A and B are shown apart, each in its own frame.
Chain A
Amino acid sequence: MNFQIGWRNIWRNPKRTLVILSAVIIGVWSMIFLSAFMRGITDQMVRNGISTLTGHVQVHHKGYRDDPGIENSMTEPGVLETVFNNTLPPDTLWTSRVRVSAVASNARHSSGVTLLGADPAKEGKISFIGGAVTLGRFLKPDDPHGIVVGQALVEKFETKLGRKLVLMSQDTGREIASRAFRIVGIFRAEMEATEKQFVFVSLPAAQEMLKLKKGISEVSMILNSHQEANEVAAVLRDALPANDYEVQTWQEAMPMVTAILKMYDGFVFLWFFVVFIAMGFGIVNTTLMAVYERIREFGLLKALGMKPWWIVRQVLTESFYLLVLGMIIGTGLGALSVLALSGTGIDLSSVAAGAEFAGMSRMIYPVVESKDVVTANLVVFILGIIVSLYPAIKAARFTPIEAMAHN
C-alpha cells in the first residue's frame, strides 16, 4: 500500500515530477556516456600501446629497461626459443626484434629514430605495422637494404619511395655503424609520433649493421587477451634464468599508460560525484517543496496517529520512484547513445594535434563497462536516498499543532 500511495503522490504534481525526473535522467545518462567515452579513450590507448611494439609480454636482457643500448642485447636467442616452445600457451604469437636508437639522415635532414630490425612475417601479425603500410611494400625476410618508414618522417625528410636513408648507430664494438637503406614502404600510424619515431629494417640487416651476429634486443608476444599477461609473465620468469633475462607485462612496460588508466578511474568516480552533487541539490529541493506543500496533510496523518517512521518511509518511497525511474530511462538512453556511436566512433581529427598531445587517438569508440554502469546507478540510488532523508525527517517532525498553524 505504501508503494501505491507513493506512486500516486509523485503524480499529484506531474510537472514537478517530470522536471526532477529529467534531472536524474540527464545525470545518469551523462555518467554512463562520459565513463564510456573515457573508457573508449583508455581502451584505445592500451590497444595502441600494445600494438605499437609493446605486445602483452616482453622479454629483454637484464638491464635493457634501464639502458636500452646494444650492450644489453640477448646473444643466444636459441635458449629463448626452447623455453618459449615448452612454456607458452600454444596459440601465443611472438617475435624477436633488434631495437636500438639510431640517427637517420639524408642529404638535407637528420633526426633521431628508433631502429627496429624485424622479422617481417611474424612482426606483421603482432604489431600495428601488419596493416599499416600504405605505399610500397613491407619488408621481405632478408631485405639487405630495404627500410619502411612513417609518412610523417617522409614529409619531414622531404623524401619519397625509392630514396636513400642512411642510418647511424653504435655497434657492439662501440664504434659507429652506418648503413644505407632504400625506402621500400611507407606506413601510417594512429599517432604522428609513431610515424616519426620508428623505422623498420629486416632483422638480418640490423644484425649485420650492428655486428650483433644472432643477437636480438627484445622478444614481444601477443596472448589471447590482456588479462593473461601476468600469468604468462610469471611462468616465463620461472623458466628463464633471472640473472640474464627480465620479463615485463604490458602494464610494467608502459607505466605511463598504467598510471593514466588509474587516473581515469579516479576521474570517472569524481565525475560521478560532481554530477551527483548537482543532481542531489535538485532532489532535496524538490522533495522539500513537496513536503512543505503537504504540511497540513502530514499534520493530519500525525494527528490520526501515524508513526513518524512511517512518514519517513512514505517520503523515501516517493524518492525511490523518482530515482529508479530516472535510472532506468537514463541507463537506457546512455546505452542507446553509446550503441549509436560505437559503430562510427567519435572523430577527433579536427583536434588531432591536441588529442595526440594527450596520448589519444584520432577515433574514439566508446566502451561501456558494466562496472561503471553499476557504480553510476548505485551512486545515484544510495546517495539519492540518503539526501532524501533530510526532507523525510523534516516531514516526520511536524507536530499536528505546527501543521494546523501553517497555511
Chain B
Amino acid sequence: MLKKGITAACFTFFLLIALVSKASSQDIQELVQAAVEYYRGIASIATVAMTIHRPGWERTMTMKAWTKGQKNSLFTIIAPPKDKGNGTLKRGPEMWTYNPKINRVIKLPPSMMSQSWMGSDFSNNDLAKSDSFVEDYTHTLSSTETHDGKKVYVTESIPKPGAPVIWGMQKLKIREDFILLSQAFYDEDFELVKAMTGSKIQMLGGKLFPKIWKMQKADIKDEYTLLDYIELTFKDDLPDRLFTLSSLKSSRR
C-alpha cells in the first residue's frame, strides 16, 4: 500500500515537473521572441554612429538605418564624406552592397557572408541570419539575475539539429521588461567567441532602449565595435519601396 502510494506520488511529481518545464520552455520561447520584437520594433528609423576600435587606430562612421520587421533592413553611411553613400540592403537571407564610387550594386556571394561587415566586428552573417534566430534555436532558461532592481533572465539557446548556424550556443540576457542586455556567441565547446552587450539604457524613440552596443571578440582585448544610437524612431510601417535596389542606390529617401 505504502509502496503504491510512493509510486503514485513519484509519478505525479514527474508529471508535474514535465508539465512545468514544458510550460516554462514555451514561456522562454515567447520571452526571446518578445525581446527580439522589442529590439527590432515593427519598423524603425535610426541614426547610429559606429566606432571600430583597433589597437593602432579607431574610426567612426555615422549611418542611417531603416528596418522593417526582422527581414528587411537598409543601411547607408552619411558621414564621413569619404564613405558617404555606401550602403547595405538586406532582404530576407540575401544582402547587397552599394558603392557610389564605382556606382555598382554587388550581391554578396556566399563566400563573403562570413566576412566582416564594413570592417567591423560584425559579420555579414550576423546581419543576414538574425531573422531566423528564434526558429533556429531551442531556448531554455539557465538562470536569473538582478540588475538595477530588475529581474534579468539568462537564456541559453542551442541550435536545433540541422539548423544551418555556426554557433554552438548563444546566451541572451533579457530584462523582465524585454530589453535585450547582451547576446553572447559560443562555439561547440561552449567557449565564448564574441559577445554583444548593451548599456546606457534610456528613452529612445518612445521606449527604453540601450543606447550603446559593444561587439567584442572574446580572445582579443583591444578590439571592439561600438554602436551608438544617436536617434531612434519606431514606426508602425515603412513603405516596401524603401527596401529595393533602386532605393539602395539613390541618396534621396
Task: Mark A residues whose CB is within 8 Å of B.
Answer: 101-103, 105-108, 110, 112, 144-145, 159, 163-164, 166, 168-170, 175-180
Question: Contact: B93 with A107, CB < 8 Å?
Answer: no
User: Is chain B's interface secondary structure helix, strand, loop, or mixed overall?
Assistant: loop
Question: Contact: B114 with A107, CB < 8 Å?
Answer: no
Task: Mark B residues whose CB is within 8 Å of A.
Answer: 93-94, 109-111, 113-114, 128, 159, 161-168, 185-188, 193
Question: Contact: A102 with B110, CB < 8 Å?
Answer: yes
Q: Which of A110, A145, A159, A164 contacts B114 (CB 8 A)?
A: A110
In the docked arrangement, what's the CA distance between A147 and B159, Å? 18
Residues on B with beta carbons closer than 8 Å to the beta carbon of A166: 164-166
Question: A227 → chain B, closest Cβ, in Å?
Answer: 39
Q: Which of B111, B167, B188 contacts A163 (CB 8 A)?
A: B188
Q: Can you list 25 contacts pairing A with B, beta carbon distance less than 8 Å?
A: A102-B110, A103-B110, A103-B111, A106-B166, A107-B167, A107-B185, A107-B186, A107-B188, A110-B114, A110-B166, A159-B188, A164-B168, A164-B188, A168-B110, A168-B164, A170-B109, A170-B110, A175-B93, A176-B110, A176-B128, A177-B110, A179-B164, A180-B159, A180-B164, A180-B165
Residues on B with beta carbons closer than 8 Å to the beta carbon of A110: 114, 166
Question: B162 → chain A, closest Cβ, in Å?
Answer: 6
Question: B146 → chain A, closest Cβ, in Å?
Answer: 30
Residue from A145, A175, A176, A179 having most chain B Cβ neighbours under 10 A: A176
Residues on B with beta carbons closer than 8 Å to the beta carbon of A145: 161-162
User: Is chain A's interface secondary structure helix, strand, loop, or mixed overall?
Assistant: strand
Question: A337 → chain B, closest Cβ, in Å?
Answer: 49
Q: Which residue of A lies closest to B163 (CB)?
A: A180
Question: B131 → chain A, closest Cβ, in Å?
Answer: 13
Question: B139 → chain A, closest Cβ, in Å?
Answer: 18
Residues on A with beta carbons closer than 8 Å to the beta carbon of B168: 107, 164
Question: Contact: A112 with B111, CB < 8 Å?
Answer: yes
Question: Contact: A107 with B111, CB < 8 Å?
Answer: no
Question: Contact: B187 with A178, CB < 8 Å?
Answer: no
Question: Contact: A176 with B114, CB < 8 Å?
Answer: no
Residues on B with beta carbons closer than 8 Å to the beta carbon of A103: 110-111, 113-114
Question: Contact: A176 with B93, CB < 8 Å?
Answer: yes
In the docked arrangement, what's the CA distance between A105 and B187, Å? 12
Q: Which residue of B lies closest to A107 (CB)?
A: B187
Q: Which residue of B lies closest to A109 (CB)?
A: B114
In the docked arrangement, what's the CA distance between A86 and B225, Å? 63
